[in-house]
Amino acid sequence: MLNNLKIRSKLILLVGSLILFILAVGAIGEQAFTTGRAALSTIFEDRVVPLRDLKVIADMYAVNVVDTAHKARSGALTRDEALKNIQKARETVKQRWQAYLATYLVDKERALVEDIKPRLITADLAVDRLVQLLQSGRDADLVDFVATKLYPAIDPVSDKLSSLIDLQIEVAEESTVSTVAHFETSRHRIIGLIVASVLLGLLASWWVIRSITQPIAQVCNAISRMALGDLSVTVVDTGYRDEPGQMLRATAEIAQTLRAVSHDLGELIEAARAGTLSVRADPARHKGEFAKLISGANALLGTLAEPLHEVAAVMAKLAAGDVRGRMTGEYAGELRALKGNVNRSLDVLVSMLDAISAYASALAEGNLAHTIDSSFQGEFAAMKLNLNKAVTQLRNVLVEVRQATVQVSVSAGETTAAAVEVSRHASGQMTTLVDISGAIEQTASAIGEIASHADRARVLARQAVESAQGGQTTLSALGTAVNGIAEKNARITQISELIASVADKTYVLALNAGLEAARAGEHGGGFGLIAHKISALAEEVAGATREIRALVQEATTAVGSGVSTASEARTSMGQIVHMSQQSGDTIQSIAASIEEQSAMMQLLKDRVVRLQTVAQTTASASEEISATMQSLTAMAQHLNAETNRIRTA
């Protein structure tokens, strides 16, 4: 039941209990203070003051009466002074005695008072007698009265006054002891009440504080965890109807509300992360500011989705080839900046595409002197630079290709002329070889005639010498012609190597142009096609050059063989001349060596046949070289015509 009390009721109960204990302590203290004050008042008024009065009365009798009487008897005081002192004593005693009798008298004290009253009467009579004696001036009677009667009348009063004084002290002591005892009792009661109130206060405070702090600690822990983002907190409802219980239930409701809000916001965030900006949370599931928060989140998604949808629409147009689409919505803040950036980006892109379109149109028209001059930034600037560098390099390649084609055309013309010259020399060689062949046949016929007609040996020897000399001269001419063919073949080889070098360089330049065209992407397609054609022409030139080199090598080999054969034939003819010259002197040896000469003629005939074959091969190779060079010249002229269509300046 106490746990259901409100904090105010608990505090009122706690404070009320403490107040009751304080009131009890105050009442006991007040009683003790009142009793003590009454006791002190009684001691002062009924004991101290009477003690003073009794002391004064005793002193009046002792000093103002007895001592004055002795001084008056001795002459130390005058009679008037003595009477004055006595009168003062009588008035003071009377006043003080009446005041004493007005105080509270204990029973023992009343008995002493009753006992002292007759003695006071006796004393007063003695004082009256003393006054009479002083007034009468009878010194002898005064002396006798003072010596014998005054002291016995006063002394009993003094004794009883002393007893009363002692009694005052005794009664005061008893009152003090009683008061102290009562004070100690009150003090013990107060201490007991204080201890009890402290214990009760501590117990009640512990109970009140515990009933408040435990739920508050649970609430603080839950709120701290929720402040750190942990919404999985569980708040245990004690079921109490006090403020901490209400606070626990309110905290649980807050946690549940925050979890619901977090769940809805999480779904919105996950949907936004997934790219679905059309998802909305239901504000009706929440109340107050949380409903406003969810509505604000929905509005925020709508605000963000609108420019994104417009950007998507613009990008869709851009993907469809429509680069004129722009964002037209009204936005604020960074969304306005987004709109401006998108539109500016599209403007820059359109400008870049226009520049590339003009660039491509110029390339399609064969104008390599056109460059992109507009100002761009970032990757656009790099693209502009790469395109300008590509067209510059392609222009340089075309210039070099054009120069190479001119060189190829010239070299092909020279090669064609050299091939014609080689063919002409080969034809001359064939004629010479036919002559040599006829001379050899004639020599063979002469040797036969020498064999059959020994008598005609000298004549025939002379004819043989002459024929041998003619054959030697012919062989010398043949050697010279063959050497000329060899030199022409060497020249053809040099020209072929030059053509091969030009073809290789053209092929490399075409490859570079193809690479640059590939870097330029779609806009370098025209360059790639031209570079491919140039590369194909270069490969054809290189193939033709390799064929020419192979033919020239075969011709050179054949010519070398012909030179060797002609040299051998010339040596043989020299021997024939030498032998023919000796035939006149050594006609006898002709018959013996006729068989050897016949064999040598057969060998010479075979060598001449080989020379004819070489000459025929050389002529054929020359004709093929000439045809190849004419084809190469036609290719070079076609390539030159293709490159001339492209403007490079």
Count of helix runs (H) and strand runs (E) in the chain: 14, 0
69-108 per-residue burial string, b: 16 or more CB within 10 A, e: under 16? bbebbeeebebeebbebbeebbebbeebbeebeeeebbee
Residues composing the chain:
649
Q: Which of the four pLDDT bands, split at 50, 70 and 90, describes residue 257? A: confident
Q: Residue 247 pLDDT more than 60?
A: yes
Q: Pick the closest to residue 154 from 173, 129, 177 (CA basis).
A: 129
What pLDDT score was predicted for residue 593? Answer: 63
Q: Which of the four pLDDT bands, split at 50, 70 and 90, describes residue 285? A: confident
Q: Pick the closest to residue 513 from 397, 363, 400 (CA basis).
A: 397
Q: Residue 194 pLDDT more than 80?
A: yes
What pLDDT score was predicted for residue 513? Answer: 65
Q: Residue 152 pLDDT more than 80?
A: yes
- Of 277-281, 330-334, 592-596, least confident by mean pLDDT is 592-596
What pLDDT score was predicted for residue 548? Answer: 65
Q: What's the mean pLDDT when you consider all of the chain?
A: 75
What pLDDT score was predicted for residue 566? Answer: 60
CATH no. of 378-643 = 1.10.287
- Dist CA 429 CA 475 (whole Å): 10
What pLDDT score was predicted for residue 47? Answer: 78
More reliable by pLDDT, 208 or 126: 126
Beta-bridged to residue 647, according to DSSP, are 367
Amino acid present at 48? V
Give me the DSSP letters along 354-369.
HHHHHHHHHHHTTBTT
What pLDDT score was predicted for residue 440? Answer: 62
The tens digit of pLDDT for each residue in 529-572 reads 666 666 676 677 667 667 766 765 776 676 567 667 667 766 76
The tens digit of pLDDT for each residue in 582-629 reads 765 665 665 566 567 667 667 766 765 675 676 577 667 667 766 776
Q: Which of the four pLDDT bands, split at 50, 70 and 90, describes residue 581? A: low
Alpha helices, DSSP H only, in 327-456? 333-364, 378-452
Mean per-residue pLDDT, 573-580: 66
Q: Pick the closest to residue 448 from 463, 434, 437 (CA basis).
A: 463
- Dist CA 209 CA 203 (whole Å): 10
User: What are the structure tokens assigned to 345, written together?
Assistant: 């980006």
Q: Which of the four pLDDT bands, split at 50, 70 and 90, describes residue 319? A: confident
Q: Which residues contact 523 (CB under 8 A, 6 or more apart)?
A: 356, 359, 360, 363, 387
Q: Pick the closest to residue 371 from 523, 531, 530 (CA basis).
A: 523
Q: Give me the percent of the chain exceeding a pLDDT of 70.
A: 66
What pLDDT score was predicted for residue 465? Answer: 63
Mean per-residue pLDDT, 88-98: 90
Contact at 8 Å (CB) between 527 and 517?
A: yes
- Dist CA 596 CA 128 (whole Å): 228
Q: Which long-range contacts (CB under 8 A, 24 or more apart) does 502-506 make?
A: 502/404, 502/407, 502/408, 502/411, 502/541, 503/408, 503/538, 503/539, 503/541, 503/542, 503/545, 504/538, 504/542, 505/400, 505/404, 506/400, 506/401, 506/404, 506/405, 506/408, 506/534, 506/537, 506/538, 506/541
Contact at 8 Å (CB) between 215 and 247?
A: yes
For 294-314, give the secondary structure using H, E and C.
HHHHHHHHHHHHHHHHHHHHH
Q: Pick the closest to residue 506 from 636, 644, 369, 363 (CA basis).
A: 636
More reliable by pLDDT, 63 or 354: 63
What pLDDT score was predicted for residue 52? Answer: 87
What pLDDT score was predicted for residue 564? Answer: 73
What pLDDT score was predicted for residue 526? Answer: 63
What pLDDT score was predicted for residue 629? Answer: 67
Which of 14-23, 137-146, 422-431 shows the highest mean pLDDT? 137-146
Q: Residue 167 pLDDT more than 80?
A: yes
More reliable by pLDDT, 493 or 133: 133
What pLDDT score was predicted for residue 317? Answer: 79
Backbone angles phi, psi at 647, to 5 degrees: -85, 130
Mean per-residue pLDDT, 305-312: 78
378-452 vs 333-364: helix crossing angle, rounded to 10: 20
What pLDDT score was predicted for residue 423? Answer: 64
The tens digit of pLDDT for each residue in 455-487 reads 676 676 677 667 667 766 766 766 676 577 667
373-397 per-residue burial string, b: 16 or more CB within 10 A, e: under 16? eeebeeebeebbebbeebbebbbeb
Contact at 8 Å (CB) between 411 and 610?
A: no
The tens digit of pLDDT for each residue in 334-386 reads 878 877 887 777 777 777 777 777 777 776 776 767 777 777 777 777 877 78
Q: Which residue is associated with the tokens 């054609």?
A: 533
Q: Which residues in the chain are classed under CATH 1.10.287? A: 378-643
